Copies of this chain bind each other. A is one copy, B any other.
Amino acid sequence: MNELQSKPGTADAVAADLERAIHEHRLPPGTKLGEDELGEVYGISRTTVRAALQSLGHRHLVQHKRNRGAFVAQPTVREAREVFEARSLLEPRTAHSACKRMTDDNIRALQAHIDAEHAALDAGESGRALYLSGRFHIEIARMADQSTIETMISELVSRSSLIIALYWQRRAALCESQAHHALISAFVDRDAELAEELMKNHLLDLVTSLDLRNSSSIPGTLKEALAK
């Protein structure tokens, strides 16, 4: 919600930390999130851990299995399509709104974001680069001054990171930078219509770069299929 982070040890702080770890692919889909284990890591009791896991569960980043525990979510092909469908409804129009309100400072902040993303890539920190790439979309929503939509996009972006972890085909460098650069150009030109169109196409490109064929080999699902 707000930029200033919560005090360490609170459920919100733990949830934010876990969400970032998930977003950066340090916690891959399917990872078991034991309550005792997390409690020991963060030096808190299970009560607080459970609150954090419940929060992430509401955001569809963690999947709860009855009497089994919490696991980093593994979005299905269907869920993946739905997430990007939702993004395609929200983000293009939000980019339009953001463009109309955007200040020079906003544009500089976005540019700095991309620079940091490049720096992370050069440093071999692909997880951090992916995180920053997602934040770019969230920042645009924030600049549209629509906190409700921003919250929704934030959740969708994090879920997208899980989808990318599962269905990304080309492990090569993220070609997103080009699309983000083009968006900034539109912002500089104050061309809201173009920004909307660019965002729409950017999301379309993202979806088509995924391998969303039905019942493809999904890591971790094989095991579950055999368990039955």
Within the assembled complex, what's the spacing in Å between the Cα atoms of A78 and B53?
30
The proximity string for A residues 41-85 relative to B, scoring 1 for CB distances below 8 Å and 0 otherwise, is 000000000010011001100000000000000000001001101
Do B55 and A85 touch across chains, with their CB atoms under 8 A apart? no
B-chain residues with CB within 8 Å of residue A147 when the two chains form the complex:
82
- B85–A146 CB distance below 8 A: yes
Copies of this chain present = 2
- State whether the Cβ of A148 lies closer than 8 Å to any Cβ in chain B: yes
Q: How far apart sit A183 and B93, CA to CA, in the bound complex (Å)?
A: 24
Interface residue? A182 (CB, 8 A): no
Beta-carbon contact of A149 and B54 below 8 Å: no
Task: Please tell me if A89 contacts chain B, counting CB pairs below 8 Å.
Answer: yes
* Residue A107 interfacial (CB < 8 Å): no
Q: A58-B58, A90-B90 are in contact. Are A149 and B85 (CB under 8 A)?
A: yes
* Given A79-B148, A82-B146, A89-B89, 14 new contacts (CB under 8 A): A51-B54, A54-B55, A58-B58, A58-B59, A82-B148, A82-B149, A85-B146, A85-B148, A85-B149, A86-B90, A86-B152, A89-B94, A90-B90, A152-B152
20 pairs of residues in contact across A and B, judged by CB atoms under 8 Å: A51-B54, A54-B54, A55-B58, A58-B58, A79-B148, A82-B146, A82-B147, A82-B148, A82-B149, A85-B148, A86-B90, A86-B148, A86-B149, A86-B152, A89-B89, A89-B93, A89-B94, A89-B149, A90-B90, A152-B152
